[in-house]
Amino acid sequence: MAVKIQTAQGAIEIENDVIATIVGGAVTDNYGVVGMASQNPLRDGVNQILNGDSFSKGVVVRQQDGGVTVDVHIIVGYGLKISEISKSVQARVKNDLNVMLGIVASSVNVTVQGVRILGD
């Protein structure tokens, strides 16, 4: 399912894989985030860290009337404040979607799927 944006010149459709790639890049650039995790860990491997080609497995995008809702599944570093990392992820994802695609994210839900020791 694509996100549809109506403009005066016509309609724009942005595929979820494009949004997932941008969201994945925004998420993994945050300090304390070790990587992205799959939204279905039993099928894709428990706490397997996703690479850039499979960010769509860790991101769920839903279009609603007020904007777009994004669910992100992450793995964080051990010993760091999870609430601060999550707030940083939310702010970065909202900003990047707005700046790069002109999409307003009404909410960004962060699910921490695991904790890893930094450096492993």
Residue 64 belongs to some domain of the structure? yes
CATH number of the domain that residue 35 is part of: 3.30.70.1350
Q: What is the total count of domains within the chain? A: 1
- Give the tens place of pLDDT for each residue, 63-95: 877 778 999 999 999 999 999 999 999 999 999
- Give the tens place of pLDDT for each residue, 40-52: 654 555 455 655 5
SS (H, E, C) the chain: CCEEEECCCCEEEECHHHHHHHHHHHHHCCCCEEEECCCCHHHHCCCCCECHHHHHHCEEEEEECCEEEEEEEEEEECCCCHHHHHHHHHHHHHHHHHHHHCCCEEEEEEEEEEEECCCC
Segments forming the whole domain that contains residue 90: 13-114
Q: What is the pTM of this model?
A: 0.82
Q: Is the pLDDT of residue 107 over 70?
A: yes
Report pLDDT for 2: 77
